[in-house]
Amino acid sequence: MRLRPYWIGVEGSYGIGVTAKDEKEALALAAHALGASDVKSIDPLSSMSELDQGHVIPNMGNWFKRGVWFPLGFD
């Protein structure tokens, strides 16, 4: 199974970083972990340079592993 990291924009939140097999699974993982229901956007990521270097990068988990890697604490 090929996994891909996604950034999910959520209303009233900084955002959620999730690694999953597809967008549907990414949304399900985010909803299960954080109750994220007010999704504004979902974007596949190809590089860590696409993430906020001052806040997300220093506070994220392993984005190569399936699950929520930002915010921390939901793996």
3-state SS string over 16-60?
A: EEEEECCHHHHHHHHHHHHCCCCEEEEEECCCHHHCCCCCCHHHC
Cα–Cα dist 24/12, whole Å: 21
Structure confidence at residue 29 (pLDDT): 93
Is the distance from CB of 8 to CB of 42 less than 8 angstroms? yes
Is the distance from CB of 13 to CB of 40 less than 8 angstroms? no
pLDDT digits (tens, 9 = 90+) for 19-56: 999 999 999 999 888 876 688 999 999 999 999 999 99
Residue, of 11 and 25, whose pLDDT is higher: 25
Structure confidence at residue 62 (pLDDT): 95
Strand, helix or coil for residue 70? strand
Structure confidence at residue 12 (pLDDT): 78
Cα–Cα dist 25/48, whole Å: 21
Residue, of 22 and 75, whose pLDDT is higher: 22
